[in-house]
């Protein structure tokens, strides 16, 4: 079951929210920082050799940033806490898609907390302009059929405080 607005408002799943971020079936999430990729990453089976790509910040000009086509890392403003009976997913806002950009996110497991990151992909050959703190995605929270038997304790727990 996807949690509706009235459950989300009472659940305290995120910090730093404005009332306009609550939607009928999710919470809008906003962009805090944006980064350009500077190196390749390495992904393996057991994370023993994992190497996350190096990045450099993309500076805002006044209150906006103009992005050319390509892939970027974004960090969200909102600090998320996923309870033991919920999983979270993030989808791009339809306005992003209508401008030729999308947001790629992973699943937020029960027990995860942090200021998460996502992949912003600009496909519009003319680019996109994003204002500081733009609403770029919508988090959807799904109630599990029962409490998770274990909680997320991975490398990214508590990230980007």
Q: Tell me: the pLDDT tens digits for 69-103? A: 999 999 999 999 999 999 999 999 999 999 999 99
Q: Tell me: the pLDDT tens digits for 28-70? A: 999 999 999 999 999 999 999 999 999 999 999 999 999 999 9
Q: Is 118 helix (H, G, I), strand (E, B) or coil?
A: strand
Tell me 95's DSSP state: H
> CA 49, 54, 57: angle at the middle one, nearest 5?
155
Residues 158/114, Cβ–Cβ less than 8 Å:
yes
| Residue-level pLDDT at 13 | 94
At 9, the pLDDT band (50, 70, 90 cuts) reads very high
| Residue-level pLDDT at 104 | 98
Quote the CA–CA distance of 27 and 90 in Å, as a whole number: 9
Quote the CA–CA distance of 62 and 153 in Å, as a whole number: 38
Domain ranges in the chain are: 5-143
CATH of range 5-143; options 2.70.40.10, 1.10.10.10, 3.40.50.850, 2.40.10.120: 2.70.40.10
Backbone φ and ψ for 93, nearest 5 degrees, come out as -70, 150
| Residue-level pLDDT at 48 | 95
Residues near 83 by beta carbon (within 8 Å), at least 6 away in sequence: 11, 13, 110
Q: Tell me: the pLDDT tens digits for 102-135? A: 999 999 999 999 999 999 999 999 999 999 999 9
At 16, the pLDDT band (50, 70, 90 cuts) reads confident
């Amino acid at each position: 079951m996807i949690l509706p607005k009235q459950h989300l408002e009472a659940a305290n799943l995120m910090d730093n929210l404005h009332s306009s971020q609550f939607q009928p079936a999710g919470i809008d999430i906003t962009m805090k920082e944006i980064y350009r990729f500077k190196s390749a990453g390495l992904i393996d089976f057991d994370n023993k050799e994992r190497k996350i790509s190096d990045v450099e910040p993309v500076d805002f000009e006044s209150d906006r940033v103009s992005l050319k086509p390509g892939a970027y890392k974004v960090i969200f403003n909102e600090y998320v806490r996923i309870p033991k009976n919920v999983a979270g997913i993030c989808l791009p806002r339809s306005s992003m898609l209508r401008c030729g950009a999308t947001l790629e996110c992973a699943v937020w497991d029960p027990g995860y907390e942090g200021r998460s990151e996502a992949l912003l992909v600009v496909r519009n050959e003319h680019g996109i302009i994003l204002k500081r703190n733009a609403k770029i995605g919508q988090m959807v929270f799904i109630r599990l059929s029962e409490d998770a038997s274990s909680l997320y304790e991975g490398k990214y727990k508590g990230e980007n405080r």
